Amino acid sequence: MITTLLVTFSIFAIVMAVMAVGVIFSGRCLRGSCGGPEVLDGDGEPISCAACPRRKQREAARSPGGST
């Protein structure tokens, strides 16, 4: 019984580690307000994550002088 539990836990841990490595090497932003669809606050202003590497590109594209 305990052996089955440990094997199951180990398989889940390995799968989660492989997924984490895949996310790290893909270089994508996290989903949600940072890398996913644009999320607006109550005033209609976009919410963006300060740590997102694409934040400056998105802000430049939104500004009146920015390119589209």
How far, in whole angstroms, is CA 10 from its chain's centroid? Answer: 25
Helix/strand/coil for 38: coil
**Tens digits of pLDDT across the chain (68 residues):** 999 999 999 999 999 999 989 888 887 666 554 555 666 667 777 666 666 666 667 677 767 765 55
pTM summary value: 0.44
**What do you get for the CA distance between the two ends of the chain, in Å?**
60
CB atoms within 10 A of CB 62: 12
